[in-house]
Structures are given as C-alpha cells and as structure tokens.
Amino acid sequence: MSNIRIDCSFPGGNIIIEDIDGDVVTLRQDRRDTEGFWFYWYFRARGAAGRTLDFRFTDGKPVGVRGPAISLDEGDTWAWASGITDIANSFTFVFPEGADAVRFSFGMPYTQANWDRFIARLGDHPALSGDELCRSRKGRPVEMLRVGRLDGDPLARVAVTCRHHCCEMMASYAVEGLIESVLTNDDTGRWLRENIEMLVVPFVDKDGVEEGDQGKNRRPRDHNRDYDAESIYPETKAISELLPEWSGGRLRMTLDLHCPGRSGDWNEHVYQVGRDRPEMWHEQQRFGGILEASREGALPYSAANNLPFGEAWNAGQNYDLGCSFSRWASGLPDVQLATSFEIPYANASGAEVNAATARAFGRDLGRALHRYLEQAL
C-alpha cells in the first residue's frame, strides 16, 4: 500500500531515509562533515494525503521544542506543529486530504530563493545596492547588499553577517527586518539612511545553505572559526579583506547573527555572546540596554541574559578552534561594538519564534542601532 515518497531534492534539503514500513518512517539527519552531533534536517513527503504517519529519528533528538516546522506550500510558509513541549526523537503527522506534498524541518528554512523574493519585494530603492561578495567554493554567487547612505560619506558604517553556520536559518528573518528598518519611512529609517551605510552578507556559508549542511562544527573548520590569517573559505577571506578597506575609518559596529542549540539554558532566549575584552563587553551591555528599551516586537530581550565571556560554552578554549568573526572584528581599528546575537529557533523566553516575530526582532535591532549610534557619533 505504500507509495509514500520522501526526498530532499531541493535547496536546503537534508535527510537520510532508513526505512518506510506501513505508516512508520525511520530516518535521520544527514550530519555530513559535522564534528559530533547536530540536528538540522529538512525533507518532503509525498503520496501520504489523508494518512497519519509516524516519523522516527534514529540519531538523538533532532525535533525541537515546538515540534517540527511544517509547510503545506512547498516551503513558502511555515508553522510549528505544537506549543512548547520538549525536544524529541519522533513526531506524528496527520496529512490533510489533498496535501500531496508536505515539507518538514527542524526550523523554517531560508535559502537563496527566500532572499531573492525579499529583494524583489523591496524593489528598486535609492538607498539599496546589491553586489557580489565573491564566489563560493562551488561557484555560487555570494550576495552582498549595501543599504542606507551610499554616497561614500556616511557618519558610520555597520557590517552585518549571517549564516556563518548555515543551518541557523531563523536569524535570516531577523536580517530581513533589520534591512526593512533602514528603508522604512519613520524616524529610525530616515536617520539610518541619512547617517549609516550598512553592509549585509546574508549567507556567509552559501554552499552550506543551498545544500542543506549543518555547518556548525564543520570539519576541518567551520566558517565562524575561519578568521585567522589563513582563511580556507572564499567568503571569510573576502570579508576579512573587504571590511578594513570598506571601513575608511568609519566601521563602528559589526553584528553577526546566529541561532543557538535546541533547548534548555542559553538556547531559549535571545542573547549576545560576551566578548573577552572588558571595554567591548561594556559596549555590548550598553547596546543591550538600548535594545531592551527599543523593543516593539514579540520576542523578549533582556540584557541580563547576555552571556559573559568565561561562562557556559563561551570560553577561551574555543579560541583553539580558530578565530570567530566577532573576535576578529573586535580587533579592527575604529570598531566600537563587535557583537554576536543568538536568536532561538523556536522558543524565546516563552514567545514563539517564527518568520514574522524574527523579522520584528530585526526591526527592534534597527531601532536600537539608531539610538546607540546616535549617542555614539
């Protein structure tokens, strides 16, 4: 009776099918070149309309705290399966009648097609300029966007990077919100367009995003450990060459957006990763206070949740793995604040993380950027 077909033959796809037996599908995430466990997966099931299937994972608990994200329109829109539960190694799905293709993932996948749609929606705008940072190892164009004051004479420059770890897709929706905040006709948008030039690299690990890799703890080195003198990836090499030149003495702030682990401490609230230098930690806390006061979106943020250097996973032994983007950027002349944010995949202090709330958090970041830089400049 089984004519169920499961595949991952689309951008971002990732799954290994072990067995399909009646209504039970046994499967696991494809770790590829990841060192140790990680939990990203993204597949499509066809031929199951009207049936109820059990999906059972064999490699740990890669189902997040709101269950799988589900798309009934081939990945255009997503919803979580449930309210807050716990991580799990299985889920059950009742396929609606007529649901010929249903996509499931650990999160709400965001690939180049999403970015292209976003850019098309923005349309031509005098404060927006698209470019190519470089080609990836596999020859893909790596996007770069400049937004804000583009005439070469801004008061300050800000660099924004995302997907150093390619699986961390929820951060991409925040990038959209941040860009929107520059283009909106309100106080923040007008001030940012008058004073700030922002450079955005939306997919630092472009091949990983499109091919559905984990990216986190990639061997021999992940993209966010590749800012020592000899970068092995074209994207990190291009960023480390471009930023000092592009700065022109005005690069004041860098912002690197990530998603954390699946659940528990440090994984279910938004936070900044504390830098080791006290003066930088002070600026992170100051920006955090401003962000806390700027919040209008649904995702809570409290500067008290920032993770100081030396606590939990944020320790000096990571330095042995290679230099991260924010650590590298904090050493650039003129940079006053180099920070990284962790945005949970599903649950932020009880609030649901989804495309809309993560975008709204990006707009909160834009408002905070405005207030922080207005004070600083």
Q: Which amino acid is at 118?
A: F
Nearer to Zn ion, 44 or 258 (CB): 258
Q: Are 331 and 228 in contact (CB under 8 A)?
A: no
Please give the structure tokens belonging to residue 241.
Answer: 């060459």
Which residues 6+ apart lie within 8 Å of 332 measured at CB? 243, 244, 247, 251, 254, 338
Min dist. Cβ of residue 268 to Zn ion (A) = 16
Q: Pick the piece of the chain touching Zn ion (CB under 5 A) from 182-190, 193-201, 254-262, 314-322.
A: 254-262
Nearer to Zn ion, 170 or 196 (CB): 170
Nearer to Zn ion, 168 or 207 (CB): 168
User: C-alpha 324: how far from its chain's center?
Assistant: 15
Q: Pick the piece of the chain touching Zn ion (CB under 5 A) from 127-135, 168-176, 240-248, 353-361.
A: 168-176
Residues in region 97-126 near Zn ion by CB under 5 A: none
Nearer to Zn ion, 55 or 266 (CB): 266
Q: Are 224 and 324 in contact (CB under 8 A)?
A: yes
Q: Pick the piece of the chain touching Zn ion (CB under 5 A) from 19-27, 112-120, 162-170, 175-183.
A: 162-170
Nearer to Zn ion, 168 or 352 (CB): 168
User: C-alpha 314: how far from its chain's center?
Assistant: 19
Distance CA 96, CA 90 (A): 19
Min dist. Cβ of residue 259 to Zn ion (A) = 6
Nearer to Zn ion, 66 or 165 (CB): 165
Phi, psi of 230 (to 5 degrees): -105, 90
Site string for Zn ion, 282-321 (x = CB under 5 A): ----------------------------------------
Nearer to Zn ion, 165 or 225 (CB): 165
Looking at 157, 258, 367, 370, which residue binds Zn ion (CB under 5 A)? Answer: 258
Min dist. Cβ of residue 62 to Zn ion (A) = 17
Q: Pick the piece of the chain touching Zn ion (CB under 5 A) from 13-21, 147-155, 165-173, 355-363.
A: 165-173
What does the buried/exposed string (b/e) look like for 276-287 if buried means 16 or more CB atoms within 10 Å of the residue's CB?
eeeebbebbbbb
Min dist. Cβ of residue 260 to Zn ion (A) = 7
User: C-alpha 109: how far from its chain's center?
Assistant: 10
Handedness of CA 345, 350, 356, 359 (dihedral sign): negative
Looking at 165, 193, 225, 359, which residue binds Zn ion (CB under 5 A)? Answer: 165
Nearer to Zn ion, 224 or 294 (CB): 224
Q: Pick the piece of the chain touching Zn ion (CB under 5 A) from 28-36, 47-55, 202-210, 255-263.
A: 255-263
Distance CA 9, CA 45 (A): 11
Pairing of strands 337-342, 251-258: parallel
- DSSP for 58-110 reads SSS--B-BTB-EEESSTTSS-EESSSS---BSEEEEEPPTT--EEEEESS---
Residues in region 323-352 near Zn ion by CB under 5 A: none
Nearer to Zn ion, 165 or 193 (CB): 165
Contact between 193 and Zn ion (CB under 5 A)?
A: no
User: C-alpha 190: how far from its chain's center?
Assistant: 26
Min dist. Cβ of residue 221 to Zn ion (A) = 14
Please give the structure tokens belonging to residue 296.
Answer: 């209008």
Min dist. Cβ of residue 149 to Zn ion (A) = 30
Q: Pick the piece of the chain touching Zn ion (CB under 5 A) from 142-150, 157-165, 180-188, 330-338.
A: 157-165
Min dist. Cβ of residue 164 to Zn ion (A) = 6
Number of residues that bind Zn ion (CB under 5 A): 3
At residue 184, the 3 state secondary structure works out as coil
Handedness of CA 117, 121, 123, 125 (dihedral sign): negative
- Which run of H or E residues covers position 286? helix 278-294
Helix 170-183 / helix 112-122 crossing angle, nearest 10 deg: 10
Q: Pick the piece of the chain touching Zn ion (CB under 5 A) from 75-83, 153-161, 167-175, 230-238.
A: 167-175
Report the interface residues with Zn ion, using CB under 5 A: 165, 168, 258
